[in-house]
Structure 1
């Protein structure tokens, strides 16, 4: 107890250096815990990009590629799926709902998705959260209506009733515009923190209408273009789509229907379980995730080394203090224990202050992170893994404190009394 009081008094006497050391340790602890929280929540958010969908079906390729273009709007499909193949499984007795997806166009770098009303009813994300409209309504009978994702509307400053022109292809700058068939903004979806926010949603009829006078992926040459009014009177049933999502009436039927789709004789199809494909995709990013964690550990190590440097630098200034303590009866292990107490207290104060900074940061930033990135950071006590990390930091500080303690232990009484100031 006397050593503890003496250690606290010694630290108070060097309060400015102590505060800087504690602040450095606290910042490193805050960074480590923040990275861990964001890593774990990013994994949860990543896995929750699509929720409640039992199967994702596309042309036969790879599971990760199918997931990337159908859910994350990254890359392109190897080929399309015939419309009758979609109808075959949409009418399957075990299928509760089916959402067609048609991709291939864009608007100022944002992907355009052709789908139907079922998309707004059954597409879920997060923990089973449905899509909600922040403004307006979903597209209806008119094929030239578009519903914007929240990020598209915010970034491009679009409002309800505005007319926009879609572009063929997915490049940021496209040379081929569907300028003869503009779309009207009729709705804006609430922010989800998923690729939905970066997507423009049109009907399958609208997707078919803008390509009605195209042949082999190019505008028809030498013939009159079909106007928007005339295309409304045409049959706009799609001939092919990019992929589709299925919700089944029973989870037990998932694997059976997956095998049936993969063995479909009509055309080569691939059905994947989104959860399994998401885990496979996340594992591909595991190296970057671990690298971020290692960098955070090195930041903590740097903070602890700063603490060790501050204690070692003060030893020469405190040699007379140590000698006086020895002269009044303190033993060498008392001197060593004093320095170990100081290093442990510095680390404990840094960890406590770091936790306070972490929770303060969560309170300030949680709304922004959830709204813009779909990351929900709970204001909860540290979990077991975080407690282990904090315990490891305190143990490392204790071990580091042994170095100055060993040096002080070896300083003799005569050396301390004879030092010249």
Structure 2
């Protein structure tokens, strides 16, 4: 206890240097914990993008490519699936529900997805959470109705009743607009933190109506043009879709249904397990994830080395102080212990301030990060792994404190009560 009070008094006497050292450690601790928190939450958010879906089916390509365009709205399908193929698979007695997905259009950089009412009934994310409407309702009989994801509505400031024009293709800036067939916003989904937030949802009939007068990827001109009112009275059953999601009556049948779809004779199809594909995709990003964590650890190490340098630099200046302590009865191991306690106190203060800065930063940036990147950072207590990292920092500080402590011990033995400077 006496050593601790003496260490605090010594640090107070060198408060400017001590504060700078403590602040450097605090910033490095904040960075390390922030990277770990973002990494953990990003992985949890990534894994919870889709839940409760047993199989994702698309045209035969790669499992990651199918996952990217069907779930994350990234990239494009190599081919479409015939509607009759979807109906055949959906009619299988082992299939409980099926959600068709049709992609290909966009609106101001956001993807448009054609689907059915089954999407709002059966799609799950997170821990089997259902989609909820923040405002309005789901699309109904009118093909020209759209339900917006939360990010689309907030970023583009759309409200119920607004009319929007979709664009052909997925480019941010498109030269081909479906201006003759505007859609009316009838609903806005609650925020999910998934790609659903960045998607405009229309019915399959609406997707078909957009392209009913298109041929070979080019809109018709003159007499071949079909108005929105004319399209409403046409047969808008889709001829093809991009992919579909399946929920099965029994999890035991998953692999059997997957094999049947992969061997489907009507056309080449690929069925993947979402969890396996998500894990495979995340493993591809594992190197970058570990590299970022290693950089953060090196930043903490740099902060601790800065503390070591500050203590070592002050040793020669403090030899008179140590000689005075020896004169009042302090032994060499007291001097060594004093420096170890100082190193530990600096590191402990840095850890405490670093954790405080982390929570202040999360509280300040939580809304921005969630609205901009769809990543929710909770104000929760440190996890077991984070406690281990903080404990490791304190242990490293103690070990580093042994270096100046050993030098001070040797100097106090050599100097005795006479200071050689």
- Same fold, TM exceeding 0.5? yes
Q: Give the 3-state SS of the residue equivalent to 2:333 in structure 1.
A: helix
Give 1:305-384 correspondences, 5 Å limit. Answer: 305-366=305-366, 369-370=369-370, 373-384=373-384
User: What per-residue deviation string (whole Å, max 9, x for no partner) do you get for residues 384-417 of structure 1?
Assistant: 3222212221121112112212222232554874
CA change 1:416–1:16 in 2 (3 A) is: farther
Equivalent residue number for residue 271 of structure 1: 271
Moved more, 408-417 or 117-126: 408-417
The equivalent residue for 1:128 is 128
Contact map agreement 2:193 2:376 (CA 8 A) in 1: no
Q: Note if contact 1:143-1:203 (Cα within 8 Å) is conserved in structure 2.
A: yes
The one-character-per-residue Cα deviations of 1:92-151 (angstroms, maximum 9, x if unpaired) are 111111110000011111111001111111111111111111111111111111111111
Following the alignment from structure 2 to structure 1, what is the Cα–Cα distance between the partners of residues 341 and 257? 65
State the distance in 2 between where 1:151 and 1:237 align: 30
1:187-226 → structure 2 map (5 Å cutoff): 187-220=187-220, 223-226=223-226
Show the counterpart of 2:178: 178
Q: TM-score, normalised on structure 2? A: 0.94
Write the distance in 1 (CA, Å) between the matches of 2:190 and 2:88: 33
Task: Give the structure 1 partner of residue 161 of structure 2.
Answer: 161
CA distance in 1, matches of 2:154, 2:356: 34
Deviates more, 1:7-16 or 1:205-214: 7-16
Q: Distance in 2 between matches of 1:374 and 1:155?
A: 12
Q: Tell me, in whole angstroms, the C-alpha distance in 2 between the residues paired with 1:153 and 1:109.
A: 13
Greater mean alpha carbon deviation, residues 314-323 or residues 63-72: 314-323
2:242 aligns to what? 242
CA offset digits 1:7-35 (Å, max 9, x no partner): 22212322333233222212211221121
Displacement of 1:298 after TM fit?
A: 1.4
C-alpha deviation, 1:337, in angstroms: 1.7
CA distance in 2, matches of 1:329, 1:201: 80
Residue number in structure 2 paired with 1:64? 64
Aligned to 1:33: 33
Q: Distance in 2 between matches of 1:207 and 1:367?
A: 34
Query: What is the distance in 2 between the residues matched to 1:313 and 1:264?
Result: 75
1:160 CA displacement: 1.6
Instruction: With the length of structure 1 as denominator, give the TM-score of the two structures.
Output: 0.94
Deviation at 1:182, TM superposition (A): 1.2
Aligned residue number for residue 252 of structure 2:
252
Instruction: Give the secondary structure class of the aligned counterpart of 2:224.
Output: coil
Q: Which moved more, 1:233-242 or 1:373-382?
A: 373-382
Which consecutive residues of structure 1, in runs of 5 or more, have no partner in the other structure? none
How many aligned residue pairs are there? Answer: 420
> Which region of structure 1 is more displaced relative to structure 2, 387-396 or 133-142?
387-396
1:407 alignment partner in structure 2: 407
Q: Would the aligned equivalents of 2:319 and 2:419 in 1 still touch at CA under 8 Å? A: no
> Post-superposition shift, 1:365?
4.5
The question of whether the paired residues in 2 share the 8 Å contact of 1:319 and 1:416 is answered with no
1:320–1:419 CA contact under 8 A, matched in 2: no
